[in-house]
Structure 1
């Protein structure tokens, strides 16, 4: 209660301080005036026909920020933001299908530890772990991408691994128009078109930018699974051959409008819209060996995906009381109306035995509403910034399940309702903050406090009947400190200390019983989970190489508290309870005069939940290089290299391991060769991600990805037209997974296997031809 009163009092004090200054608007102005939008706008034809190789930006931010313009990625023709992020230091994707990049992971930590922002604003996503699937945003909508390695007081603190800010093109920064037209050919012969258009210029008394993008999204893969009784692989239990085709189309658009108001004010509004229509078709053929019987199954599956992401934001800045005041209002929404169905037709020794099917549909509506009021002003030789962030999240999701069982071979599939499960999570945040900063010729600093308060309400239902509800309040004080020393014009040292949080996953909070969620074990959520917190440090060194080049190295460390892991409640699962009752009845029938106390029973499955189990540590080193080879007499050759060593430590029910799904390392190396006399370029980039391991109750998985090679060749025609041919996945990389499966915790500890599975998938190379024309 005292913490809530503190937050409310601080919020009111900050708001009053700003409102009290409003009468001084007419007489107060800052020393620096906003530049004229038209004179600052970048010509879009320089995006279409790049006369120079683009390198990583060296920002003036005191906090550790890496910035990459679209031009840094564009020559390799990325389709989505996920394709762009693959080339950045410390970024991994574990769990994504081959040739897809959806849940981005910084520092190798799970996707929920990385905060994804669009234009600096929070956006809802598809993941139960609060992650945002970055492959939903087309690359053509992006101006630049920022990697925010550490948190600051004026940003949300739920970015334990760091944050990725996707900055979309805006009207203030660009001028002109261009078209993008292309075709992609996949290894199976499928050809898909892509189209994009952007225009920007003066309109409606200010500046307006509008862009649209339509691209077919296709990927075909083949997968093979072999299942054995144990890792010796002496006994093959079953195998499965599967083909999968994902075929769909993404529609996207963004708009930005900026206008100067009065002498010092500027109003801007921006919005984006992304719609994903995609059909996923799977066809599996399974063979299982059971004693002398051969069980054959044909398993067709179909998953239509219909998802929408959109958001709109408005910002107004103006001079006031010797400083600058800012009002921000934003709203973002994610809608999911997808479905999934799978049939299984089994034959024993060639004779039909059974047919069954399951289907589910999801209706999800996830919204984020935010309002920010902030004021920035001189404070002696420093600068003071203070403000309040209000944020409201509402996540409403309903799963409807269906089932069917055939009585004879060839019976038509007619689904019957098998119940619904729904949940509603509402979170309201009021986060006041205070930040001081100063900049000198050689030394810059930034220190701040952010007090995050969250009121969380959870309700879940089954078959439209409310089954339970819970509430939980979170309050956390997050200090941060950033220091930057410019030792010389070329050399820079930075140090950041900051506290951050990781909120529980949505499914970890919902107290609904899920039957057989982990092997034969049940799971129930825990709405009383505490947030994970981490005290972090980032220590970096950066050196400028000539006019464009930069090389940097950064050490990071996160000391994580209240780590959330799966635990055994000690209660039997529903299956174990049913087995107990059946076996007890049989025992009493066979042993007249005996009682329940005489019956001995060892349950083989339990009820799991999530709990705050202790502490963990995450640490590593990130190196990046981006430079022309001017010193070697090759100014038209650009090289790019980054390498990240990633490690962590956590103790679970078996012993010590890394954080789940953390790759040991990831590196990228590439080059671009410009041929000015031919108005042409070519280049290549190679990526390798280390193995990742995860261990939960009843299952352990190792994931390996093959090497990834991409190349391009480009020809420019004048100053307004370019044609590029690019190729991806030229090494036909595979994703290989090794599953160690157990019935229960005791068997896992004793290494008494239920099954050992090897799974591999491949998708083949792809080739893309793209033409850009500026006008």
Structure 2
């Protein structure tokens, strides 16, 4: 709807208003100075006033007693740099799997993974980098933990960030702290039964008068080689086995990525700073695999010995320039403009042949797919905040941008089975977005604080291409938000929280583009994929409640519950068009998801006198959901992880620090749709580490990941009264990973 984006033109107006705020503020100060000056106070009264002002500044500036988890009205968990670096991980995914309330599901190929809150991924969990969505095509697996300053986990929505956060928001803040002449280098090596590789990290920061800088650089290289195995079974409507195949999937390849994150700061005056921060990511992936299939019952697949040589190169850049200014009145203005650019090039060479007994091989397939994707974008954000009477901290702002993606796919074919598939495709997708928000936070009483916010977000997507009709999708969502914190009087350390939110999940460009993505061995369990330009956003009404008990220094017990009711729920439907199997997303009925989380952490000395320096932590996350349009049982939303248990302990004795973490994820059957079922196996992961400090500048870190050597398993089933059922299951080996990291400050 075209009227939705009339407010988009307000971006320039909002920027102009924001730019005029300093003049308005200055004018107000001039007006105050123009008023008749009051009589000079007596000397003793002036000293008393000065003392009161100094006392107020000291109270506000005390950071040691401030705990965002405990004191912020909005629910927030902050994971600091020390916790992030503890296990010497090379991927942020390994860090997040140990954070309470977060589940990281292993990728279908045994690599990578999907980040989930409340057991939900697929866009229900919002992932931000420095408060903004990551560049298109960027893989979180290629984000090195050493480039991260902290991770913020927000269970409930905030008006300042996008409300595309049905399950919650994970905001990853890149390195920004500056220390005088800080130099640190980390050299590491890792290995397992599946692969090996080195990695390195460099941290630098310094000050020179009004100028300061910090630079974080990381490089990781990993070679892998392993063989997966699978089974395909087909059963007729009468129960007779009509197909039985065994599949091998040997693969060999390498992954290389590098991060560079420079940050430059200029102090233009008192409370007046200009900052430039960039993030550059280079990712290279190479993989060669073949898929020999042995047919024991039934007919063989179209390509029984499919081979694939894949090459993928991804480069991305995000660069922001921000200005922050505080005024004498206490107001603050933050402005930021940023650019995003990225390119993803991939080449997939697929071959297959067959031969009758005693004859030469007959080529069935020899095709090369070349995909070139270019992304570019421009965005602007602004925020004006001010403390007004009676302790209200009011803020309003905007967030707008334009992103464009160009795709070109060229298929060069020498041999291919017949089929009406395009050989050359080009498409362009343009996404315009604008959000405006306002929020107010205040202390009603010393024990009761309130947060009220509202955010309007509009998104318009236009897609054109040479193989489909132009498509246009527009949507806008109003999101009112309320959060409150009440510290129970007379019970030191006891407090309760409540949040009411309206959030949503917008369909991505890939889900809206009606271009066909082809599966070579097309079947009901390996269908082609085609987007749906008629998708609508999913809307969610949510409620969160929590009880927190802080019963000793560093000790916490938290119990939280939540519910989300989702309308226009989107799920993937599989159908046969008379020639091929196709999967496409579609808005269905509604869904409900509920969660309960129990978390505790405490030093052992909080329960035992003369206890050793041991810190313990544990969390249990239980999730339920129901999709109305899918018959039960097990009709969970987005194959939701029903149970996650996280246990951990750390021990320190002199120069030695050691500890471990155990994560259990329960699996089970899932009814994805009327015709689709899936099964996930329970997973147990044990990680341990040890850190030895030689002195203040040198230390050695050793870590063992997946110490139980548990493999990743998956199974998908499609069943239909006309065709019967077909089940495909796979086992991906996951070896024990060993890492050694030498850290030096100089």
| TM-score bracket relative to the smaller structure | 0.7 to 0.9
2:614 is the counterpart of 1:637: yes
Q: Is residue 2:374 matched to residue 1:374?
A: no
Q: Over residues 250-309 of structure 1, what are the superposed CA-to-partner deviations in whole Å (9 max), with x where a residue is unaligned? A: 111111122322122122221111111121121333211356999995433221121123
Which residue does the alignment assign to 1:247?
A: 254
1:383 aligns with 2:393: yes
Cα separation, partners in 2 of 1:387 and 1:33, compared to 1, 3 Å: farther
Query: C-alpha distance in 1, partners of 2:108/2:689?
Result: 23
Could you tell me which of 53, 71, 74 is aligned with 2:85?
74
- The structure, 1 or 2, with the larger RCO (C-alpha pairs under 8 Å, 6+ apart) is 1
Distance in 1 between residues matched to 2:253 and 2:674, nearest whole Å: 31
Does 2:639 align with 1:664? no
Separation (CA, whole Å) in 2 of partners of 1:774 and 1:26: 50
1:401 aligns with one of 411, 422, 427: 411
Partner of 1:332: 340
Residue in 1 that maps onto 2:689: 712
Equivalent-residue separation in structure 1 for 2:192 and 2:744 (angstroms): 25
Q: Is this contact kept in 2: 1:280–1:302, CA < 8 A? A: yes
8 A contact 1:253–1:272 mirrored in 2: yes
Alignment CA distance shift 1:329-1:538 (3 Å): same
Per-residue deviation, 1:155: 1.2
Distance 1:735 1:81 in 2: 19
For 1:296 and 1:562, the matched residues in 2 are separated by 38
* 2:420 maps to 1:419: no
Residue range with higher mean Cα deviation, 316-325 or 6-15 = 6-15
Query: Alignment partner of 1:94: what SS?
Result: strand
1:543 is aligned to 549
Provide the residue aligned with 1:87 in structure 2. Answer: 98
Q: TM-score, normalised by structure 1?
A: 0.83
- Asked whether 1:220 is paired with 2:225, we answer yes
Matched, 1:360 2:369: yes
Tell me how far apart the structure 1 counterparts of residues 375 and 102 of structure 2 sit (CA, whole Å). 26
Q: Match of 1:82, SS?
A: helix
Describe the shift of the 1:291–1:473 C-alpha distance in structure 2 as closer, same or farther (beyond 3 A): closer
* Secondary structure at the counterpart of residue 95 of structure 2: helix
Alignment of 1:266 onto 2:273: yes
Q: By how many angstroms is 1:321 displaced?
A: 7.6
Distance 1:682 1:135 in 2: 25
Alignment equivalent of 2:561, drawn from 555, 562, 572: 555
Q: What CA distance in whole angstroms lies between the structure 2 residues aligned with 1:68 and 1:20?
A: 35
Match of 2:447 in 1: 442
Aligned residue for 1:287?
A: 294
User: Partner of 1:63: helix, strand, or coil?
Assistant: coil
Work out whether 1:392 is the aligned partner of 2:402: yes
Change (3 A) 1:638 1:375: same
The 8 Å contact of residues 483 and 499 in structure 2, kept in 1 or not, is answered as: yes
1:660 is paired with a residue whose SS is: helix
Partner of 1:481: 482
Note closer, same or farther for the CA distance 1:184–1:636 as it changes in structure 2 (3 Å cut): same
**3-state SS of 2:17 partner:** helix
CA contact (8 A) 1:545 1:627 kept: no
Match of 1:195 in 2: 200
Which of 706, 720, 729 is 2:706 aligned to? 729
With over 3 angstroms needed to count, the CA separation of the structure-2 counterparts of 1:330 and 1:237, relative to structure 1, is same
1:499 deviates by 0.8
More displaced, 102-111 or 63-72? 102-111
Counterpart Cα distance in 1 of 2:476 and 2:553: 46
Q: Is the 8 A contact 1:554 1:621 kept in 2?
A: yes
1:140 aligns with 2:179: no
Matched with 2:46 is: none
In 1, Cα distance between equivalents of 2:636 and 2:534: 26
Give per-residue Cα distances to partners, 1:498-517, cap 9 Å, x unaligned: 11111113232123356777
Which whole-Å CA distance do the structure 2 matches of 1:7 and 1:191 have between them? 50
Shift of 1:227: 2.0
The CA distance in 2 between the partners of 1:474 and 1:226, in whole Å, is 43
Residue in structure 2 matched with residue 682 of structure 1 by the alignment: 658
Seen in structure 2, the aligned counterparts of structure 1 residues 568 and 295 have a Cα distance that, compared at 3 Å, is closer
The verdict on how the C-alpha distance between 1:482 and 1:236 changes in structure 2, with shifts beyond 3 A counting, is same
Q: Counterpart of 1:451?
A: 456
Aligned to 1:586: none
Give the whole-Å Cα distance in 1 for the aligned partners of 2:682 and 2:583: 31
In structure 2, distance between residues paired with 1:183 and 1:153: 43
What is the alpha-carbon distance in structure 2 between the residues aligned to residue 434 and residue 327 of structure 1?
16
Taking structure 1 as reference, are residues 611 and 207 closer, same or farther at Cα in structure 2, changes over 3 Å only?
Answer: same
Once structures 1 and 2 are overlaid, which stretch shifts more, 690-699 or 661-670?
690-699
Deviation digits for residues 376-425 of structure 1 (CA, Å, limit 9, x no counterpart):
11232112111122122222222222333399xxxxxxxxx961223322
Quick one: distance in 2 between partners of 1:505 and 1:747?
Answer: 33
Q: 1:206 aligns with which of 201, 208, 211?
A: 211
Q: Match of 1:24, SS?
A: helix
Structure 1: unaligned runs, 5 residues or longer: 43-55, 127-131, 408-416, 576-604
Moved more, 215-224 or 250-259: 215-224
1:503 aligns with 2:506: yes
Q: For the Cα contact (< 8 Å) 2:375–2:404, is it kept in 1?
A: yes
Q: Deviations over 1:309-344 (max 9, x none)?
A: 321112211124831111111223332112222322
Equivalent position of 1:620 in the other structure: 595
Q: What is residue 48 of structure 1 aligned with on the other side?
A: none
Say what the alpha-carbon RMSD is for the aligned residues.
3.4
Aligned to 2:318: 311
- Retained in 1: the 8 A contact 2:110–2:732? no
SS class of match (2:82): helix
Residue number in structure 1 paired with 2:352: 344
Query: Corresponding residue for 1:164?
Result: 170
Q: Once structures 1 and 2 are overlaid, which stretch shifts more, 269-278 or 7-16?
A: 7-16
- Indicate conservation of the 8 Å contact 1:94/1:703, yes or no: no
Distance 1:173 1:494 in 2: 36
Instruction: Count the aligned residue pairs.
Output: 701
Say which SS state the counterpart of residue 730 (structure 1) adopts: coil
Contact 2:589 2:629 in 1 (8 A): no
